[in-house]
Structure 1
């Protein structure tokens, strides 16, 4: 679609600065740009549209999702039956509503009828506009009878061609999803005077069209026979209507153009099936072939007793079609062939249809005399499963007769997701019944629409898609069409593209669109995170509505497109299950704070068991080991240098400087080795988290932390103690005896590693001089100051043990000033873990933090920084804020996307080959 406004562009030189290169993400084709770009350029200069915009002539325009919502439509009306005995006038109607919460300014123009209408439509109601009858095409004619509808924001459009007892409607398709190849959808003609028909409308001037016919046609003064080709040229809003001759059924006729066109298709008026009265107009706005799919689920029409008729139309030769739910053999179709299935007297048969190549499926309502139910024929396009959407806005249609339509919608959705549907903001009616579809995970319902007007049906999750087909029955009359659908180009070639939330594009080429939430989780289980994002504006506030299934000890966070449950401070878990928890930490010249709150110091420079499930085999097994190394050339001082976690049959090693190995393979974070096990950056830490409440964090320098639920009470062993609530027995060794000293206790938990040379029994630190003792007391005493920035945490975490370890390290390291900073950081991190942000305590002169290039220090930054693998992480992050953040240069999603591309990364599964 084209929005005629001035849009942002970027002028990019091939060798320009990094700042310039990061100012826009390249989308679509580049435009020729003038020299003298806004960035100091070298070499050729190009002009490119920024992220979220695409080229439209010499300007850029907003890129929107390919679906039935749009800002420009070209539609028209084919010839309907003329009832000479009718006392009411036929009507050509458009139904319009805004697709967003904002009103839309709409213009309807039909130059061929000298007609223009301006109106404002809102999402609260559907506006009905009646068009001049002169716009209806007649016979095999060529005329300027196209109708253009434009809006300043996306709208939804339906068209209804209404005559007494012969009405049908269509869902309008916007210009941005129109294509260059179509196949005609029609039915057997009743007689020569009520032919099969279709109409092609020009969208651009000078459009060349070729039609390969499936039946006899008289056009432009001559006869055409089946398989012959009609060629004509269309200008904008010009239409050519072609009708069958000798009762020919034109279904399967192929339309090919050199520019996008709009195609209406159906029958002037016919019986369905041919043996049963009465005649009704059939029409659909046919989608182009590139939007067709391969998987379909059918649902019978409500209240009917004679069953339904389906037609399956192929676009390519050698298309194999399999149908389950009825006793038929697979069939192979060539391009333009169709397979008709009459489910006679079948009121509860659901079919599943699978094809080797894309097909079009049409559902037909039978005539009233087939079962004497108040209704009549209509033709309805069935969206493939690949094009199901997550929300729909539709309006009921009124009848020209005194008998109002009885309205229904058919819905197909995954069985496990039915409870998430809402109808006008409320749960579905209690009387709603679901029918499981055999051999699938889908269920269907025929929902009665009790009140006329505008209605909205959506799912609370933007990635749970479903189909919605609207239809209405009246006496010898009916209407039916899709309530909406996606129209992504999925049947042709595919190129991997960068995702923009809700773009409706198959970004990862899996023939599905928008199947991921912006939540850092691999929602579609394809090994990628946030690679094909659903619309973040599809926002149902599950938290506010009380729909979230969070644990009582968790808080619900609206992630705008979904929600996430986060355990409150003092608890651990995935938010849907939370347990009271305890924390063990090793930091500095290692000091150990046990699960039971005890403190001990041990400077061994080997590998040790920090925490392990030793005694409760009904709980998930895990093992956490730390390796210590001497630092500063001092054999009396050691620090944690790597952490190993064994859980769920995976081995995860986090080395110094945050290098991560998973099962011996170096890995870029975030990663999810299996369901319920994640490894990601959280502030300064690499954090390993499981679905049973274990969380292990390591800052890559000295501090390791283990968080466990109280389910593990009395089940543990290692340097973190047994977690039994008794501090007096913290020194238990592997043989169950109590160690006499810190060194004896530490050495008892040494892990033998082949080839490792280590110091088991280090000498104790040297005695601290009085002068150094005084300095240490002053620096570390910051934690005793009631006016300190740390004071808000004192009532939750007693700082005395940290003061003690701080002074210990300063003495052991002969006054090294990094030791008090490490200890203060450890205390601040423990406070943050408890839900208390103590604010900024570092500055340029006191404990300055040296950040990597292109980053800066922050006391409360996103716990989920953007990475090459997950550029959207900060947008859905809901963890406690942490120290350190990416700089503003790289915090913008589009900047990092481009940067990652420039670092020779592979899209989505990126492994950077160079660093900043």
Structure 2
């Protein structure tokens, strides 16, 4: 009977998964909390469940898909983790009972003597204690109702306080209810300080309107309230004085809050010199950063500068900055000068901004704080590559704990060969770039290279991948210098909502969405609720099991998703106009995949 259901083309995959979980798995794991699970038993259970999943997704034997990849596709955990979840939940539930409860007494009772001949060496209690010990826990800890979940391939632990109704862990992404940002120095193509306002583009994937408040709590306490409606973009201009300039400390932090989740993009505009960034919500921010910038040694002009902006999120945050080595750096903070490799030790408060600039290259600068901060990096204005056109470039930098190890590189179409920098977070980081091996011996070191066509980059330790669109050598090609962070494979998402900005001269950019997706899923992309035909996809290039291409995007607010709920892809938005361009990722997940995290759920 089940075979007919799994094979049916009239039943949606989501419905089949619900049937598998509600009618099959619940019976399969009934009473699993009290099992003493052996390897043989676990293998039989897992094989049965995997078979059901493979039949639902019509995965035949010639398709060599590992079980790990199968679980990743459907967002399910292995059976040993699911059983451990149930066991730990039941242990916590039982241990919180009254000491007089027979159930609790039976759970903690430890009879003395030897077991009879023929009985297993291990008991349920001994197995459970071993599992708790691997998490450095005791029975007392389990009484706090430990839950174990898998997120992004990692084992994460969550304490659910007594009285909490159920467990719900959300993987952070670029959508959020609170953002704290700032605007670093942006100069015109001739080095003049920008006199243009700074811009915000706000949209939402919510089905209902969202109340949004934009304020500068420590800079005049200006407040602007707007309503963001679904599938539309709200363009907000803020006063130009919020933009930082030179080495300075002030209170120019911008707070953006919504009563529901919103998506925020910033645009920092100077005359014929523009770049944008995807804003990171507060729940994504961290305490450890390595910052990318860009200095072009081949075509350097004295007003080209690299810059870093740090915005405080909490009061009395200890802030330590180790300047990059070998970049001819000189900055001034609080009246003191610092150079290559120097440590800057200070504090920063909520909404306070610390801005440093130098004619040297700040790429690889390390930031360590006692509380989360918001960090931006880039260049005030620069050329990139061998062309002569100039532009401001910047990005909102993610913390190290969300960096990745696998990247699919798809250069921006109709531009000169793109430049890429791969920045290390740990010593002795090994990189494989299209089967060529490189080693970054120290944390903060980076590899710079040009790549043509669809490429694959992997590493043994977390890295940050940065794309730099070069100054065009052929004016028939679009745009100007731009900078974008490349989402790692581990952080691909299945839904994106974004907006296209306008240029400094109020002209529309020619915008493309450059994407990477698994080959088997390339037919299911949906733009603004309408399926994308293969004729709309341009420059489609396969590489192993993935393919890359791009779509031309009209001006306005847009949504991109896949018709399959389990298909994930990534994308970068690039817009070119006369003498200026912008580039940023349209979104990604920000699971903290580089460390074990303890979440307290309410």
1:405 corresponds to 2:487: no
Distance 1:310 1:85 in 2: 25
User: 1:91 deviation in Å?
Assistant: 2.5
Gaps of 5+ in 1: 1-9, 32-45, 54-62, 501-893, 895-916
Task: Name the counterpart of 1:180.
Answer: 287
Distance 2:246 2:336 in 1: 14
1:15 corresponds to 2:97: yes
Of the three residues 318, 332, 341, the one matched with 2:428 is 318
Are the aligned partners of 2:191 and 2:303 in contact in 1 as well (CA < 8 Å)? no
Task: Name the counterpart of 1:67.
Answer: 173
Of the three residues 207, 210, 228, the one matched with 1:121 is 228
Are the aligned partners of 1:265 and 1:286 in contact in 2 as well (CA < 8 Å)? yes
Distance 2:170 2:216 in 1: 25
Task: Name the counterpart of 2:24.
Answer: none
1:261 corresponds to 2:373: yes
Task: Name the counterpart of 1:332.
Answer: 440
Q: How does 1:478-497 map to 2 (within 5 A)?
A: 478-493=581-596
Task: Name the counterpart of 1:91.
Answer: 197
Are the aligned partners of 1:197 and 1:267 in contact in 2 as well (CA < 8 Å)? yes
Task: Name the counterpart of 2:362.
Answer: 250
Distance 1:232 1:494 in 2: 27
Cα distance per residue 1:590-649 (max 9 Å; x no partner): xxxxxxxxxxxxxxxxxxxxxxxxxxxxxxxxxxxxxxxxxxxxxxxxxxxxxxxxxxxx
Structure 2 counterpart SS, 1:134 = helix
Distance verdict in 2 for CA 1:171–1:226, change over 3 Å: same
1:382 corresponds to 2:486: yes
Are the aligned partners of 1:113 and 1:132 in contact in 2 as well (CA < 8 Å)? no
Distance 1:105 1:317 in 2: 45
Distance verdict in 2 for CA 1:192–1:231, change over 3 Å: farther
Distance 2:205 2:410 in 1: 27
Of the three residues 580, 597, 600, the one matched with 1:477 is 580
Structure 1 counterpart SS, 2:315 = coil
User: 1:64 deviation in Å?
Assistant: 3.9
Distance verdict in 2 for CA 1:406–1:206, change over 3 Å: same
Are the aligned partners of 1:411 and 1:445 in contact in 2 as well (CA < 8 Å)? yes
Distance 1:81 1:278 in 2: 13
Q: How does 1:18-167 map to 2 (within 5 A)?
A: 47=162, 49-52=164-167, 64-82=170-188, 90-111=196-217, 112-167=219-274
Are the aligned partners of 1:158 and 1:172 in contact in 2 as well (CA < 8 Å)? yes
The number of equivalent residue pairs is 454
User: 1:104 deviation in Å?
Assistant: 1.1
Of the three residues 326, 335, 344, the one matched with 1:230 is 344
Distance 2:194 2:350 in 1: 33
User: 1:374 deviation in Å?
Assistant: 3.1
Task: Name the counterpart of 2:449.
Answer: 341
Structure 1 counterpart SS, 2:241 = helix
Distance 2:404 2:254 in 1: 28
Distance 2:565 2:285 in 1: 25
Distance 1:432 1:78 in 2: 36
Structure 1 counterpart SS, 2:473 = helix
Distance 1:329 1:355 in 2: 10
Distance verdict in 2 for CA 1:299–1:82, change over 3 Å: closer
Distance 1:109 1:49 in 2: 34
- TM-score normalised per structure 2: 0.70
Distance verdict in 2 for CA 1:194–1:434, change over 3 Å: closer
Of the three residues 495, 504, 520, the one matched with 1:416 is 520
Cα distance per residue 1:423-459 (max 9 Å; x no partner): 1111114332463333x2000111111x210111101
Structure with greater contact order relative to length (CA < 8 Å, sep ≥ 6): 2
User: 1:88 deviation in Å?
Assistant: 9.8
Are the aligned partners of 1:434 and 1:443 in contact in 2 as well (CA < 8 Å)? no
Are the aligned partners of 2:191 and 2:304 in contact in 1 as well (CA < 8 Å)? no
Distance verdict in 2 for CA 1:331–1:455, change over 3 Å: same
Structure 2 counterpart SS, 1:368 = coil
Q: How does 1:494-643 map to 2 (within 5 A)?
A: none
Distance verdict in 2 for CA 1:379–1:302, change over 3 Å: same
Of the three residues 437, 462, 468, the one matched with 1:364 is 468
Task: Name the counterpart of 1:448.
Answer: 552
Gaps of 5+ in 2: 1-91, 105-143, 148-156
Cα distance per residue 1:846-899 (max 9 Å; x no partner): xxxxxxxxxxxxxxxxxxxxxxxxxxxxxxxxxxxxxxxxxxxxxxxx9xxxxx
Distance 1:200 1:51 in 2: 37
Distance 1:212 1:87 in 2: 27
Structure 2 counterpart SS, 1:369 = coil
Are the aligned partners of 1:25 and 1:50 in contact in 2 as well (CA < 8 Å)? no
Task: Name the counterpart of 1:807.
Answer: none
Of the three residues 175, 193, 199, the one matched with 2:309 is 199
Distance verdict in 2 for CA 1:369–1:18, change over 3 Å: farther
Distance 1:86 1:338 in 2: 30
Task: Name the counterpart of 1:468.
Answer: 571
Distance verdict in 2 for CA 1:88–1:363, change over 3 Å: closer
User: 1:472 deviation in Å?
Assistant: 0.1
User: 1:356 deviation in Å?
Assistant: 0.5
User: 1:333 deviation in Å?
Assistant: 3.8
Larger radius of gyration: 1
Distance verdict in 2 for CA 1:310–1:84, change over 3 Å: closer
Distance 1:402 1:174 in 2: 28
Task: Name the counterpart of 1:285.
Answer: 396
Distance 1:129 1:436 in 2: 38
Distance 1:15 1:322 in 2: 54
- What is the RMSD of the two structures over their aligned residues, measured on CA atoms? 3.1
Are the aligned partners of 1:26 and 1:51 in contact in 2 as well (CA < 8 Å)? no
User: 1:311 deviation in Å?
Assistant: 0.4
Distance 1:29 1:322 in 2: 35
User: 1:279 deviation in Å?
Assistant: 1.3
Distance 2:532 2:158 in 1: 45
Structure having the larger proportion of residues in helix: 2
- Per mean C-alpha deviation after superposition, the further-off stretch among 134-143 and 428-437 is 428-437
Distance 1:462 1:229 in 2: 47
Are the aligned partners of 2:295 and 2:304 in contact in 1 as well (CA < 8 Å)? no
User: 1:18 deviation in Å?
Assistant: 11
User: 1:401 deviation in Å?
Assistant: 2.2
User: 1:368 deviation in Å?
Assistant: 3.1
1:271 corresponds to 2:375: no
Distance 1:237 1:87 in 2: 23
Distance verdict in 2 for CA 1:113–1:169, change over 3 Å: farther
Are the aligned partners of 1:29 and 1:48 in contact in 2 as well (CA < 8 Å)? no
User: 1:404 deviation in Å?
Assistant: 2.4
Structure 2 counterpart SS, 1:419 = helix
Q: How does 1:661-740 map to 2 (within 5 A)?
A: none
Distance 2:492 2:434 in 1: 20
1:299 corresponds to 2:410: yes
Distance 2:488 2:188 in 1: 34
Structure 1 counterpart SS, 2:287 = strand
User: 1:370 deviation in Å?
Assistant: 5.1
